[in-house]
Amino acid sequence: MAYTLEAFCNDARSLLQADSGAAGVEHVRKKMEILARDPGFVAEHFNNGVKYGPRRLFVDPVLGFEILGYRAEKARHSPAHDHGDSWALYAQVHGYTEMTEYNRLDDGKDPDHAKLGIKAQYKLEQGQVGTYWGSQLHSTYTPVDCCYLRVTGTDLEKRPRVRIDQNTGKIMK
Ligand SMILES: [Fe+2]
């Protein structure tokens, strides 16, 4: 049976209202796998005519979680970053994302530099969904025409976040 963005939004709201913790987010992650693999959803929201860059697809008026679609015009390495105090779910829709997760090895006292250690490196392949808790540092490599769907507990742009150049350790302001 087809699964639509609207149905996913309603399911996510109910699931998070019932449990806004890790178990609720895991239920939403499983629904997101179904959505990211739905041919009708992909054809409507990730066809060759959609614009490059991020698109906000939905903001929940009750809980404030938001859904963003992204299509990469160019290959890109992101800096290491966290998501402030929000969780994030990344679903791969086209192509793949190379994901690197980091541990911070310094004591956090230097405001300009951090020391990062690689905790995990893996590829998110089409149809896979990864969960990233607020303070989990990670960086991504996304190839041309990589498309993904991101659900976050809140609007990330409104939260303080950490960004670190993973090659030099410089904390970006
Ligand atoms: Fe991220």
19-35: per-residue pLDDT in tens? 999 999 999 999 999 99
- What confidence tens digit (pLDDT) does each residue in 123-161 have? 999 999 999 998 899 999 999 999 999 999 987 777 778
Confidence (pLDDT) at 60:
96
Cα-to-centroid distance, 151 and ligand 1 (Å): 11
Angstrom CA distances, 50 to 43, 61, 78, 89, 166, stand at: 10, 25, 22, 21, 31
Nearest to 69 by CA among 99, 43, 105: 43
CA of 101 to the centre of ligand 1 (A): 10
Ligand 1 center–CA 138 separation, angstroms: 6
Quick one: pLDDT at residue 76? 95
Distance of CA 129 to the CA centre of its chain: 9
At 10 the pLDDT is 97
pTM of the entire predicted model: 0.92
pLDDT in the model for residue 99: 97
Residue-range domains of the chain with CATH: 52-172 (2.60.120.10)
- At residue 104, the pLDDT reads 95
14 Cα to the center of ligand 1, angstroms? 25
**Predicted pLDDT at 160:** 76
Whether the Cβ atoms of residue 83 and residue 65 lie closer than 8 Å to each other: no
Distance 91 CA to ligand 1 centre (A): 12
111-119 mean pLDDT = 96
E-only strand ranges, the chain? 53-59, 66-71, 76-77, 80-81, 88-94, 96-104, 116-125, 129-132, 137-142, 147-152, 163-164, 171-172
What are the tens digits of pLDDT across the range 18-75? 999 999 999 999 999 999 999 999 999 999 999 999 999 999 999 999 999 999 999 9
* 1 Cα to the center of ligand 1, angstroms: 31
CA 15 to CA 13: how far, in whole Å?
6
Q: How far is the CA of 87 from the centre of ligand 1 (A)?
A: 9
Find the 17 Cα to ligand 1 centroid distance in Å: 24
